[in-house]
């Protein structure tokens, strides 16, 4: 049985490597090397690091889309179920480009309904839940019949958040979820995520190369470099006094 102290997601010494290139150019990339962390219920772990440091691979491992070479991934205390179906809806994702993630030919309502229909038949009650979730992310019911190409980037990302939340997941991965948005819209979406986390108490992994966004939203911060987590600390401590030289360097590079 899980208790309140059981982490929602736990990675233990996870390694993932890829081979790329051909012939003499063939090489092995260590996308994740000995990555360990845990995320408690209702908490957000921020993951920062420059491009290519292994952040999205970590997201894929948490989502069960990438199997580790070695190491363990636990969800609510048990090995992450191999079957996508049994896990469906319990771990959700919000990615960078909602225009790619949402089917341009379907309505906003269908986009939000889709994850529910893995386990349930469509009914007016199910539709009502999806519309209620749209309202929960600040989109009035009239958005339900619109198509994704009629929405702004910020509105689309609200739809992505509604689609992630509609199954009441225990965990949500945000991979550069606000990075493509204008700064003022970013702030709105970050506020929304924070409010929804208080209301729905999901745990999350918030991936970004934006240190300010991560600071705002995260309870803990992990810094990734070349596949390794070089520093992991509570947000307040990390931003007051990053201890690893690379973290300090990242502060300088990313804030310049």
The single residue among 37, 44, 46, 55 that binds ligand ADP, judged by CB under 6 A, is: 55
> Whole-angstrom Cα distance, residue 55 to residue 224?
7
Q: Which residue's CB is nearer to Mg ion, number 37 or number 143?
A: 37
Question: 249 with 226: CB under 8 angstroms?
Answer: no
Which of the listed partners (ligand ADP, Mg ion, none) does 54 bind, with a CB threshold of 5 to 8 Å by partner kind? ligand ADP
Token pair for 88: 């469906």
Of residues 58 and 220, the one with the C-beta less far from ligand ADP: 58
Given 54, 68, 98, 154, the residue binding ligand ADP (CB under 6 A): 54
Q: Is 225 in the site for ligand ADP (CB under 6 A)?
A: no
| Buried residues in 28-55 as b, exposed as e (16+ CB within 10 A) | eebbbbebebbbbbbbbbbbbbbeebbb
Q: Does 68 bind ligand ADP (CB under 6 A)?
A: no
Say if CB 108 and CB 143 are below 8 A apart.
yes
> Closest separation between CB of residue 66 and ligand ADP, Å?
8
Q: Note whether 57 binds ligand ADP by CB under 6 A.
A: yes
Let me know: does 18 contact 24? Beta carbons within 8 Å.
no
Does the footprint of ligand ADP cover residue 5 (CB under 6 A)? no
Spatial separation of the C-alpha atoms in residues 136 and 124, rounded to whole Å: 18
Q: Which residues bind ligand ADP (CB under 6 A)?
A: 18, 20, 29, 31, 49, 51-57
């Amino acid at each position: 049985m899980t208790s309140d102290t059981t982490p929602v997601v736990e990675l233990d010494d996870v390694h993932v490597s890829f081979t790329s290139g051909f012939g003499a150019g063939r090489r092995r990339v260590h996308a994740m090397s000995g990555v360990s962390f845990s995320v408690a219920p209702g908490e957000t772990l921020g993951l920062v690091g420059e491009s290519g440091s292994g952040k999205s691979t970590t997201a894929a491992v948490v989502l069960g889309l990438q199997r580790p070479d070695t190491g363990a991934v636990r969800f609510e205390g048990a090995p992450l179920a191999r079957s996508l179906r049994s896990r469906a809806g319990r771990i959700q994702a919000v990615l960078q480009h909602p225009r790619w993630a949402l089917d341009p030919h379907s309505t906003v309502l269908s986009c939000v309904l889709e994850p529910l229909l893995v386990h349930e038949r469509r009914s007016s009650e199910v539709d009502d839940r999806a519309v209620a979730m749209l309202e929960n992310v600040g989109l009035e019911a009239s958005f339900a019949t619109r198509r994704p190409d009629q929405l702004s980037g910020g509105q689309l990302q609200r739809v992505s958040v509604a689609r992630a939340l509609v199954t009441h997941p225990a965990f949500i991965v945000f991979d550069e979820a606000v990075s493509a948005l204008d700064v003022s819209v970013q702030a709105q979406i970050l506020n929304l995520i924070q409010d929804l986390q208080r209301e729905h108490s999901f745990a999350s992994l918030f991936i970004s190369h934006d240190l300010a966004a991560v600071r705002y939203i995260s309870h803990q911060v992990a810094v990734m470099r070349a596949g390794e987590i070089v520093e992991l600390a509570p947000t307040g401590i990390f931003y007051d006094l990053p201890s690893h030289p690379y973290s300090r360097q990242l502060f300088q590079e990313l804030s310049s």
